[in-house]
Chains A and B, each alone.
Chain A
Amino acid sequence: MLESFFRRWYLYLLPVLLLGAYGAKTVMSQQKVYQSLGTFNVESGTVLSQVNGNADANFGYDTPASYTSKRINAMLQTDQFVKDIVSKAQLDQALASGALTVATVRSSLGSYPNGSNLVNVAASNTDPSVAQKLADGTINAYVQGTIESQAIQSDAAVAYFKDLLASYQKNLDTAKQARDDFVAQHPASALGVRPDEEQAQLTKLEADVTAAQGQYDSTLQKSQAAELSTEQTRADASVRMRVIDQPQLPLAPTTSLKSAVMNAGTFVAIGMVLSIALVVVATTFDHSIRTANDVSQRLGVRALGLIPEADGRHGLFGRRKTQKAPSTAPSKATRSLEGPVKTGSKRAPARGAAQAKPAAARRAGRPVRAADGAKAAARGWPDGARKIASPTPLGDSSSRAGRVS
């Protein structure tokens, strides 16, 4: 795989370079973002709830902070909650004008736990005041929303008993009126004695009044209990969630060098993943024989030896030791070390050696004649023949030469 990479390293590094450049461009063009942070405390139980014997808030297996932050993040996915935030932040006009959208508000807000009871609410915006308002609005919207949702049942009970009380009051008044009317129509004698029939009727009317009064008093008691419960719930919820740090107006943007590097680094990392994938694919689809292991494992025969190529280029930054033009002084560099320098028709082809035979002759598949050499010379090949490789010192490739592992 390393060999595959280094053979075309420039190709495999291309995704890294391109994505790195894109990342750098993105970071450079990024606007300054301001972040406002607010913190509030969430308790699972309060003294009030203990005194009243109310159950503590149920957070499941989560800590109060973790539960609350998850809930805020979940609620941010609803349009209604986002609109509530905007309303609390007094940014309705911006929302109406389109300067602010539900999606941007949603993406700029976030909540995360800070310990077991503290919840941080962060709001980011290019305008520091908007960031502060959004953070403040989020905390308010959540706290108010929680209180309202918890008190809603008590409120419903209060409303129910209120309606019932009105009805019972009417019944009581009717019963009292019937009794008073009967007494007025049938005044008692001077001795205060009534006939048995009248007395029985009056007793019945008195019983009706007593029953209506009892019904009314009972309902009134319940209504008062419901009202008390509502107040307790509100008070309890208020105590459970208490703002510790009000969101402040951010003075400096949050776009730091670290985050810029991180952003650019993300693109570079993606590029590296792509590069690695390319190398893996290239290696997978390369069915050529490269190593002695390939010979023994894929062909099932012995690898006799590895004959090195002597074009003089080694490694990533290897220097090509090919002589461009023959010198006038005799030199060892004048001999081909790539392969046999033969008289024409059959030369080990490819790379430097292939140039030993002028192209026309090679295409024709005939032996190279003197005329071919003259043509080659006319084309500017050194000495009418080919580029001549210099000898490769016993170093780089020769250190591996013939070594069969």
Chain B
Amino acid sequence: MSQSTQPQEPGTVAPKAWGAGAVGVGATSKRRSSGRAAATRPTVRDMATEREAARVAGDLELVNEAGTVIHASNPAVTESIRYMLGRLRLTDGIDLPERVGVTSTVSGEGVSYIAQSLALVLTNDAGRRVCLVDLNWADPTEWPGHEGTGIADVIRGDVSVEEAFYPTGNEGLTVIPAGFAAVMERPALAQSPELDKILVGLSETFDHIILDLPAIQSSSEALALAERSRTVALVVNQGVTPDDQVKLALNELGGVPVLGVILNRTTTKVPRLLRRLIPGA
């Protein structure tokens, strides 16, 4: 990283709020935002080179209009999601539904990561128009440069849907942040008919609406939001979440069609040689 003292160039660095000392606005900006580097600003060349390196590596990146990398999916993850979508279509004979909620049993299973990666793959590979809606008010994803309006404000009628859009640098991908919702307000927002109307409206504009939902067992409004999703995919952290809890979550989802379970953070410690010798090891 250069110890540049060059003046800040528009559209090349993270917004001021996410500047020095902030904890990552994506890997790129995060690397530049150490306390040590308070006086250093990345140059256009730095960022362009890094981004080029990421592209060569096969990463899919979610960037904002300013060019800041917000989310990066590594090749292994994107390959998995591609395989998942292909398998769903070819083996099971169904395409990914127009509206899909991504949720989990307990929080911390990587729902937002999966939702963002899924949205990226859909836009990048299939050229679909995708809207990623963050409905997790309890633990919302923060978007650099965003002023705080989100889906909560749209439901309340304070702003229009278009005003809540978080513009991205990815063609076909639109994000609606969660916005602020008080704890007492969240169940009402989740059950609001306005939310359904908003989602129906979005369906006319986008091919897919990916809903980033709170965990079933950690939020009271999760079930209502899952119901609005029409179809949900359950993210399960491999080797962590007990099956009885997952079963409980699936039971609680009741009438909501469950597309399936996405096992996240899968890894194996079995040596490669052994895996080759023993099929299924």
Question: What 4 A-B pairs come out closest when comparing CB atoms?
Answer: A305-B84, A337-B74, A402-B80, A377-B35
> Are B74 and A392 interface neighbours, CB within 8 A?
yes
A369 to B18, CA, bound (A): 8
- Say yes or no for B66: interface residue by CB 8 A criterion: no
- Say yes or no for A376: interface residue by CB 8 A criterion: yes
A350 to B211, CA, bound (A): 22
Residues of B within 8 A of A (CB): 1-2, 17-28, 30-37, 46, 49-50, 53-54, 56-59, 61-62, 69-77, 79-84, 87-88, 92, 108-110, 112-114, 116-117, 136, 139-144, 233-234, 236-244, 246-247, 250, 258-272, 274-275, 278, 280-281
A358 to B92, CA, bound (A): 42
Task: Decide yes or no: A350 and B237 within 8 Å by CB, A288-B243, A310-B77, A332-B54 being known contacts.
Answer: yes
Chain B residues whose C-beta falls within 8 Å of the C-beta of A373 in the assembled complex: 20-24, 33-35
Partner of A305, one of B2, B28, B80, B242: B80
B105, closest chain A residue (CB): A289
Partner of B266, one of A304, A306, A336, A391: A306
Partner of A335, one of B2, B20, B21, B54: B54
Chain B residues whose C-beta falls within 8 Å of the C-beta of A311 in the assembled complex: 267
A306 to B76, CA, bound (A): 10
15 contacts between A and B (CB under 8 A): A3-B268, A287-B244, A290-B239, A298-B247, A299-B243, A300-B250, A307-B114, A315-B270, A341-B70, A341-B72, A368-B23, A377-B36, A378-B35, A383-B33, A384-B30
Chain A residues whose C-beta falls within 8 Å of the C-beta of B28 in the assembled complex: 334-335
Best-buried of A307, A316, A385 by chain B (most CB within 10 Å): A307
Least CB distance from A206 to B in Å reads 108
Least CB distance from B67 to A in Å reads 14
Partner of B23, one of A7, A286, A372: A372
A384 to B1, CA, bound (A): 14
> Are B80 and A376 interface neighbours, CB within 8 A?
no
> Are A287 and B243 interface neighbours, CB within 8 A?
yes
A44 to B215, CA, bound (A): 85
Residues of A within 8 A of B (CB): 2-3, 6-7, 9, 286-292, 294-295, 298-311, 313-318, 326, 328, 330-332, 334-337, 339-346, 348-351, 353, 356-358, 361, 365, 367-374, 376-378, 382-386, 388, 391-394, 396-398, 400-405
Task: Decide yes or no: A370 and B142 within 8 Å by CB, A310-B74, A340-B70 being known contacts.
Answer: no
A370 to B35, CA, bound (A): 9
> Are A301 and B258 interface neighbours, CB within 8 A?
yes
Least CB distance from B114 to A in Å reads 7
> Are A309 and B22 interface neighbours, CB within 8 A?
no
Best-buried of A373, A376, A386, A393 by chain B (most CB within 10 Å): A373
Best-buried of B31, B81, B247, B264 by chain A (most CB within 10 Å): B31
Best-buried of A310, A314, A337, A393 by chain B (most CB within 10 Å): A337
Task: Decide yes or no: A332 and B59 within 8 Å by CB, A341-B30, A348-B108 being known contacts.
Answer: yes
Chain B residues whose C-beta falls within 8 Å of the C-beta of A372 in the assembled complex: 21, 23
Task: Decide yes or no: A384 and B77 within 8 Å by CB, A3-B268, A357-B23 being known contacts.
Answer: no
> Are A289 and B239 interface neighbours, CB within 8 A?
yes
Chain B residues whose C-beta falls within 8 Å of the C-beta of A346 in the assembled complex: 112, 136, 139-142
Task: Decide yes or no: A382 and B34 within 8 Å by CB, A332-B59, A356-B24 being known contacts.
Answer: yes
> Are A316 and B34 interface neighbours, CB within 8 A?
no
Chain B residues whose C-beta falls within 8 Å of the C-beta of A302 in the assembled complex: 92, 259-261
> Are A391 and B59 interface neighbours, CB within 8 A?
yes
Least CB distance from B278 to A in Å reads 7
> Are A342 and B34 interface neighbours, CB within 8 A?
no
> Are B70 and A342 interface neighbours, CB within 8 A?
yes
Task: Decide yes or no: A289 and B263 within 8 Å by CB, A328-B1, A348-B112 being known contacts.
Answer: yes
> Are A377 and B34 interface neighbours, CB within 8 A?
yes
A9 to B269, CA, bound (A): 9
Best-buried of B20, B23, B79, B269 by chain A (most CB within 10 Å): B23
> Are A383 and B31 interface neighbours, CB within 8 A?
yes
A349, closest chain B residue (CB): B108
> Are A397 and B141 interface neighbours, CB within 8 A?
no
Chain B residues whose C-beta falls within 8 Å of the C-beta of A316 in the assembled complex: 269-271
Chain A residues whose C-beta falls within 8 Å of the C-beta of B73 in the assembled complex: 337, 340
Chain A residues whose C-beta falls within 8 Å of the C-beta of B136 in the assembled complex: 346
Chain B residues whose C-beta falls within 8 Å of the C-beta of A371 in the assembled complex: 21
Least CB distance from B69 to A in Å reads 7
A342 to B25, CA, bound (A): 5
A367 to B234, CA, bound (A): 25
> Are B116 and A340 interface neighbours, CB within 8 A?
yes
B212, closest chain A residue (CB): A346
Least CB distance from A288 to B in Å reads 5
> Are A315 and B247 interface neighbours, CB within 8 A?
no
Least CB distance from B256 to A in Å reads 12
